[in-house]
């Protein structure tokens, strides 16, 4: 087991692009601790906060990767789960659209849990995160978007009209809306076109 994973799960979204339509920062400005049910989740919350900024210089890849903050999801999965699926062989990180294609490939170790518009799929994603699996939510587009699903109780989204899991997000062009442990609905304007994936060990 990876050293940083101990006792916690990060099922998350690497948000590489699509700006969140809701005021994501507001969910952390009010009472962040209200989202955290256990000491393990609070510890994870603290660790993930360190990832919510773009590096001042290229750390693990070319300038383009820095500009897109693609390192967020890649580094979180690599350092929290020991999963390097989204690291380019030449350095840097895959884009959201490339991630979507990779996890959907037949030979992938990622299994679809279903569309985010399905309450059953959202429940499966939350349960998988709670079990310690790496879980992401992905949508394609220009440039596409990926989010991390986090452990914890499902919370009602008035926008989606569904009970949704916790998540972590970093959006290109909306860095101020980066967050951890807010509802998944803060990362996407709606559930349409968003698919949930769990990585098999």
Is residue 65 predicted with pLDDT exceeding 50?
no
CATH code (residue 42): 3.90.1720.10
In a domain, 10, yes or no: no
Per-residue pLDDT tens over the stretch 21-42: 344 556 766 545 556 677 888 8
- Section 73-92 average pLDDT: 87
The mean pLDDT of the chain is 77
In a domain, 21, yes or no: no
What's the token pair of residue 7? 């006792």
Q: Please report where in the chains the tokens 């009602």 appear, as a residue.
A: 156
Q: Please report where in the chains the tokens 């990876």 appear, as a residue.
A: 2
CA distance 156 to 90: 41
User: What is the domain count for the chain?
Assistant: 1
In a domain, 5, yes or no: no
In a domain, 19, yes or no: no
CA distance 96 to 188: 13
Range of the domain at 104: 26-199
In a domain, 17, yes or no: no
Q: Residue 143: which pLDDT band, with cuts at 50, 70 and 90?
A: confident
Is residue 174 predicted with pLDDT exceeding 70?
no
**pLDDT of res. 6:** 29
In a domain, 42, yes or no: yes
- Section 120-125 average pLDDT: 98
Q: Residue 70: which pLDDT band, with cuts at 50, 70 and 90?
A: low
Percent of the chain with pLDDT over 70: 69
In a domain, 68, yes or no: yes
DSSP of 109-159: SEEEEEETT-HHHHHHHHHHHHTT--EEEEE-SSS-EEEEEEEEEEEEETT
- Section 1-28 average pLDDT: 43
In a domain, 11, yes or no: no
């Amino acid at each position: 087991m990876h050293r940083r994973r101990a006792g916690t799960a990060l099922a998350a979204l690497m948000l590489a692009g699509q700006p969140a339509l809701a005021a994501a920062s507001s969910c952390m400005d009010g009472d962040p601790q209200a989202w955290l049910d256990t000491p393990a989740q609070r510890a994870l919350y603290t660790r993930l906060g360190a990832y919510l900024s773009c590096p001042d210089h290229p750390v693990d890849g070319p300038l383009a990767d820095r500009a897109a903050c693609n390192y967020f999801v890649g580094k979180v999965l690599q350092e929290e789960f020991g999963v390097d699926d989204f690291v380019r062989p030449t350095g840097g990180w895959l884009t959201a659209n490339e991630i979507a294609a990779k996890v959907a490939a037949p030979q992938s170790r990622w299994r679809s849990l279903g569309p985010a518009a399905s309450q059953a799929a959202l429940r499966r994603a939350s349960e998988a995160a709670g079990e310690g699996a790496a879980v992401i939510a992905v949508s394609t587009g220009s440039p596409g978007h990926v989010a991390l699903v986090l452990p914890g109780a499902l919370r009602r989204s008035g926008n989606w009209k569904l009970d949704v899991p916790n998540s972590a997000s970093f959006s290109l062009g909306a860095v101020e809306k980066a967050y951890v442990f807010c509802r998944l609905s803060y990362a996407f304007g709606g559930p349409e076109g968003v698919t949930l994936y769990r990585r098999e060990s």
